[in-house]
């Protein structure tokens, strides 16, 4: 569930900001990529390199957010140790950086996750 902030212009000309909750479901290509990456990381551990290619408007931010959120709590194939201590997301655009940061924060159930 994501909160999206919208602006509404009232009849008196004032701007009112509203937070609207939206439920977003991954599309097939997104869930497929995330599931395959999680499975490979669980099986082979950290230290591998991957490339996920998305076209414009295909949901890169959501794919990255879902993956980052799930990698934090991923356990190894024996379910004994977490695979990753830290997950760092690096972007090359300020707009994408802000969008992904906000998306990941929406998943936060425990403060500081």
Examine residue 59 and state whether it is found in any structural domain, yes or no.
Answer: yes
Residue in 90, 48, 44 with CA at minimum distance from that of residue 68: 90
Smallest Cα–Cα separation from 66: which of 101, 16, 94, 104?
A: 104
Q: Is residue 75 part of a domain?
A: yes
Please name which of 59, 112, 63 lies closest in space to residue 89, comparing C-alpha atoms. 63
pLDDT at 51 over 60: yes
Domain-embedded: residue 45? yes
The pTM score is 0.70
Domain carrying residue 98:
26-107
pLDDT band for position 39 (cuts 50, 70, 90): very high
Name the more confident of 4 and 91: 91
In the predicted model, what is the mean pLDDT of the chain? 83
Mean pLDDT of 48-72: 84
Any domain includes 13:
no
Nearest CA among 2, 10, 108, 99 for reference residue 60:
99
Residue 10: inside a domain, yes or no? no
Q: Is residue 79 domain-resident?
A: yes
Domain count, the chain: 1
Above 70 in pLDDT, residue 101? yes
**pLDDT number for residue 2:** 60
* Residue 55 pLDDT exceeds 80: no
Q: Is the dihedral of CA 38, 3, 101, 113 positive or negative?
A: negative
The answer to the question of residue 69 being in a domain is yes
In the DSSP assignment, the letter for residue 112 is T
Q: Which residue has the higher pLDDT, 94 or 107?
A: 94
The DSSP output letter for 98 is: H
The token duo for 42 is: 């669980």
Flag whether 4 is in a domain: no
Average pLDDT, integer, range 71-85: 91
Token pair, residue 26, equals: 């991954």
């Amino acid at each position: 569930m994501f909160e999206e902030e919208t602006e509404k212009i009232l009849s008196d000309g004032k701007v009112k900001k509203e937070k609207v909750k939206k439920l977003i479901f991954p599309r097939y290509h997104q869930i497929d990529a995330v599931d395959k990456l999680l499975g490979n990381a669980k099986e082979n551990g950290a230290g591998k390199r991957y490339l996920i290619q998305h076209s414009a408007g295909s949901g890169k931010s959501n794919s990255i957010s879902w993956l980052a959120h799930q990698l934090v709590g991923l356990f190894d194939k024996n379910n004994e140790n977490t695979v990753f201590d830290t997950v760092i997301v690096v972007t090359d655009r300020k707009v994408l950086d802000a969008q992904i940061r906000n998306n990941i924060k929406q998943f936060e159930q425990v403060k500081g996750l």
